[in-house]
């Protein structure tokens, strides 16, 4: 059963870091460029994130995500470069179309921001098992029921996908067309989606009963199956990041 999580099993320093620290890092990587909006800072943050990805030996797995984002970013660059309202200085001409400097700079800001978000998220996603992340959050005080909801999504989706595969085959064997013009394809949508949804919803009844029987709703304090993993330097790194954010705010106010 294919899992939808992007987690990659590797033996690196980043994998051993507390998931909470990684989440705080995402906030940090997002806040600093907002507090100090300069290209150097953004490039720096991006560089640090990419460096961490290389250290975690997962940089190759980021390529599919980055390429998808790049496709949209290219259209952003082109459209902003050509059409941004306050465009004045022309950088170069291509026949009737002119690329303007303001548009390209704005597109650069957007690109850096998007890449910052993507890379810092990738650090969390590629190096943390979803169950570890949820367990860390639940230990910090998140309701275990919400924790269950998040973990179960990772299990339910592959299940639903395989059942959809079965249903698609069954419908095609009974003569449903899935290729052809738009009308044909639209007509195929409901016979595909309907049984999957109905089946899953009816399943929820059994799922709910199974959970209740196992004490899901009980207010008694829960115990954990795994021993609590102690993460080295967790507190230290978090304090450093907090100090840097405060420092950035101070710099912004006074300089």
CB of 118 to other proteins, least distance (A): 5
Question: Quick one: 151 exposed, middle or buried, by C-beta within 10 A (0-12, 13-18, 19+)?
Answer: middle
CB of 218 to other proteins, least distance (A): 11
CB 21 within 8 A of CB 237: yes
Nearer to other proteins, 68 or 92 (CB): 68
In degrees, to the nearest 5, what angle opens at C-alpha 99 toward C-alphas 95 and 105? 170
Nearer to other proteins, 222 or 235 (CB): 222
- The contact set with other proteins (CB under 8 A) reads 4-6, 65, 68-69, 72, 75-76, 79-80, 82-85, 106-107, 110, 113-114, 117-118, 121-122, 125, 130, 145, 148-150, 152-157, 159-161, 164, 178, 182, 185-186, 188-190, 192-194, 196-198, 200-205, 207-208, 211-212, 216-217
Read off the DSSP letter of residue 18: -
Nearer to other proteins, 183 or 233 (CB): 183
Nearer to other proteins, 191 or 234 (CB): 191
Nearer to other proteins, 9 or 227 (CB): 9
Sign (positive or negative) of CA dihedral 103, 109, 115, 121: negative
Nearer to other proteins, 183 or 225 (CB): 183
Nearer to other proteins, 34 or 246 (CB): 34
CB of 227 to other proteins, least distance (A): 26
CB of 119 to other proteins, least distance (A): 9
Alpha helices in the chain (DSSP H): 19-35, 39-55, 62-83, 101-127, 130-140, 144-173, 182-213, 234-254
Phi first, then psi, for residue 183 (nearest 5°) are: -65, -45
CB of 42 to other proteins, least distance (A): 14
For 65, 72, 96, 119, 164, the CA distances from 68, given in Å and listed in that order, are 5, 7, 30, 13, 25
CB of 194 to other proteins, least distance (A): 7
CB of 62 to other proteins, least distance (A): 11
Q: Hey, which residues does 99 pair with through a beta bridge?
A: 92
Alpha carbon of residue 118 to chain centroid: 7
233: left (phi over 0), alpha (psi -120 to 50) or beta: left
């Amino acid at each position: 059963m294919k899992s939808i999580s992007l987690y990659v099993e590797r033996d690196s320093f980043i994998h051993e870091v507390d998931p909470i620290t990684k989440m705080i890092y995402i906030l940090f990587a997002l806040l600093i460029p907002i507090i100090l909006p300069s290209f150097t800072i953004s490039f720096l943050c991006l560089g640090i994130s990419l460096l961490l990805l290389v250290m975690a030996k997962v940089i190759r797995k980021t390529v599919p995500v980055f390429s998808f984002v790049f496709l949209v970013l290219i259209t952003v660059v082109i459209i902003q470069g050509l059409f941004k309202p306050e465009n004045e200085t022309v950088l170069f001409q291509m026949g009737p179309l002119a690329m303007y400097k303001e548009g390209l700079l704005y597109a650069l800001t957007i690109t850096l921001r998007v890449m910052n978000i993507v890379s810092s998220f990738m650090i969390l996603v590629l190096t943390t098992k979803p169950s570890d992340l949820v367990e860390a959050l639940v230990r910090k005080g998140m309701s275990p029921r919400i924790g269950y909801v998040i973990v179960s999504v990772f299990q339910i989706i592959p299940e639903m996908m395989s059942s959809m595969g079965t249903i698609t085959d069954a419908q095609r064997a009974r003569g449903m067309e899935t290729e052809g013009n738009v009308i044909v394809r639209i007509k195929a949508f409901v016979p595909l989606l309907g049984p999957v949804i109905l089946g899953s919803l009816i399943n929820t009844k059994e799922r709910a009963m199974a959970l209740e029987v196992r004490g899901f709703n009980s207010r008694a304090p829960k115990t954990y199956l795994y021993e609590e993993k102690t993460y080295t330097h967790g507190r230290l790194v978090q304090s450093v990041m907090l100090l840097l954010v405060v420092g950035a705010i101070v710099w912004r106010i006074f300089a």
